[in-house]
Structure 1
């Protein structure tokens, strides 16, 4: 719990030391990476299509706020629920395959969502949904400025991380680890493996949707970038760089990647080359990821 306390202190101080929108972007992508890590790091399932849930929730949340005039919490719930439904539908089919076949099925579903987002009339096509209004939270709490929005994002981030921490350290989480390590043995012990896989898939998709729906209010925008396959690749990079199978690793990975994207933007297309170089170096020198190496040093689970 000491780490959570330090994170909370850092989160409270961050908007006064850094640009609030930048910190909110880090928090949204950190939650997204943690959601993905729940599936890959603890469930052992590699998805190449998590942008489908992140982006679809972003679109629905933005549309609900702009067109229907819903308050932020209801808009975010609508987006998160959409991601959960998609996760249930896609996960029910995807878990019937394993390994690279599972990954390719998730990628195919994500591409379906991308082309739907491109063609559907309510998404705005290549323009996306712009100018998403920050209506009053709960109908009476104004969040029209960046600092007020930041506190909402911080609460959502911590709620998501605490939920993931609880799931990982629950009996359900222990069964997930057993399935990840030795699925045939878990089956022989009587566990209904596919049910556990589907449950963690839906949980991961739902939390990814929560991150995407929140991000729509941070930037007041939902665009094709949110559902593009490169977004799925970025979250994989964040998770591996920070430390797959650790609770706090994806947060560190997301912070590093988002910081590079923002502060190295002047390099243009070279940013991706710099990211790739850093990723290769990290894989060569820190095979367990940033937090994974620290975990190895302190000999305590992080």
Structure 2
């Protein structure tokens, strides 16, 4: 039986960074409760959806070391599944979300089964190719509405009690799902399973030599990441009451990569910060003449050249250096 201590790779952040991260998460939870009274609720709900999407992607890239170019398939696929189930089948929102998450997990199982057989850029290209196949399926499939998408999705009533047509009720519903998803990611990362994922990221050959079935762990991580991305997409379909081809396009996969790298891979707070920054920037530039794509491209270039660990990652590294200097 392999020794868990041997399988544990170098942690992505030190004790000081962990302490700072817990403080930030606690502050963020308190802020979530008050935000809808000071900020437009739809904007914050969009931010939470994409933050959860980025956290799901970070579970795969930051903690397993697998770069996927096809996560839009899970995000957008769940949006379509949930929108169709709620609007056409008339199911309740909670059932619709479960259908979306299950559909995304199934897609993750199929795509992951083929993709994990390769490594590096070949893995990324396979995920992109299969994601594009799903995109063209959505273009042709009847239930997706083609280029028009699925419009007018009813929010319904959660558990038959809470009317989600009310913006504040919908806000706290989204916030609860966001926190559940975030806790799920945290629990995975800080479990023995998460330690093995880190060991695979740091040294896959050593993990294999210790007797771990690396392929199975990779596939499990891929499916979990897909399911969480599906949760984000399903909630997004209810918030905005539509699902379109934009949700499954390759550009959406590029956006979540940008959000994660900008905030800092391998951290809990980084993807949330990155998603919030990108969504806020898009909202700010939506009414201006300056192209959003050029702005995000410039930011990505600056991040790669200056903030190699991402903004939050660089802050954590600075805190660790400061603690080490103070200790010595």
TM over 0.5: yes
What does 1:44-193 correspond to in 2, within 5 Å?
Answer: 44-193=65-214
Q: Distance in 2 between the 1:97 and 1:68 partners?
A: 39
The residue aligned with 1:198 is 219
The residue aligned with 1:296 is 317
Q: Distance in 1 between the 2:83 and 2:290 partners?
A: 29
Say if 2:284 is the partner of 1:263: yes
**How far does the alpha carbon of each residue in 1:22-47 deviate from its partner, in whole angstroms, 9 at most, with x for none?**
00000000000000000001010000
Say if 2:282 is the partner of 1:282: no
The residue aligned with 1:231 is 252
Q: Distance in 2 between the 1:141 and 1:18 partners?
A: 22
**How far does the alpha carbon of each residue in 1:127-160 deviate from its partner, in whole angstroms, 9 at most, with x for none?**
1000100111012221112211110000000000
Q: Distance in 1 between the 2:168 and 2:123 partners?
A: 41
What does 1:204-215 correspond to in 2, within 5 Å?
Answer: 204-215=225-236
The residue aligned with 1:42 is 63
Q: Distance in 1 between the 2:146 and 2:225 partners?
A: 27
The residue aligned with 2:324 is none
SS in structure 2 at match of 1:131? coil
SS in structure 2 at match of 1:161? helix
SS in structure 2 at match of 1:122? coil
Q: Distance in 1 between the 2:29 and 2:58 partners?
A: 21
**How far does the alpha carbon of each residue in 1:267-290 deviate from its partner, in whole angstroms, 9 at most, with x for none?**
356111111112211222211101
**How far does the alpha carbon of each residue in 1:69-99 deviate from its partner, in whole angstroms, 9 at most, with x for none?**
1111110000000000111111111100111
Q: How well do the aligned residues superpose, as a CA RMSD in angstroms?
A: 1.1
* 5+ residue gaps, structure 2: 1-21, 322-328
SS in structure 1 at match of 2:162? coil
- Provide the aligned length of Structure 1 versus Structure 2: 300
SS in structure 2 at match of 1:35? helix
SS in structure 1 at match of 2:143? helix
Q: Distance in 1 between the 2:311 and 2:167 partners?
A: 30
Q: Distance in 2 between the 1:136 and 1:35 partners?
A: 27
1:81–1:268 distance in 2 versus 1, CA, 3 Å = farther
SS in structure 2 at match of 1:129? coil
| Aligned-pair CA distance for 1:106 | 0.4
> Between Structure 1 and Structure 2, whose CA radius of gyration is higher?
2
Say if 2:30 is the partner of 1:9: yes
Q: TM-score, normalised by structure 1?
A: 0.97
The residue aligned with 1:20 is 41
* 5+ residue gaps, structure 1: none
Q: TM-score, normalised by structure 2?
A: 0.90
The residue aligned with 1:253 is 274
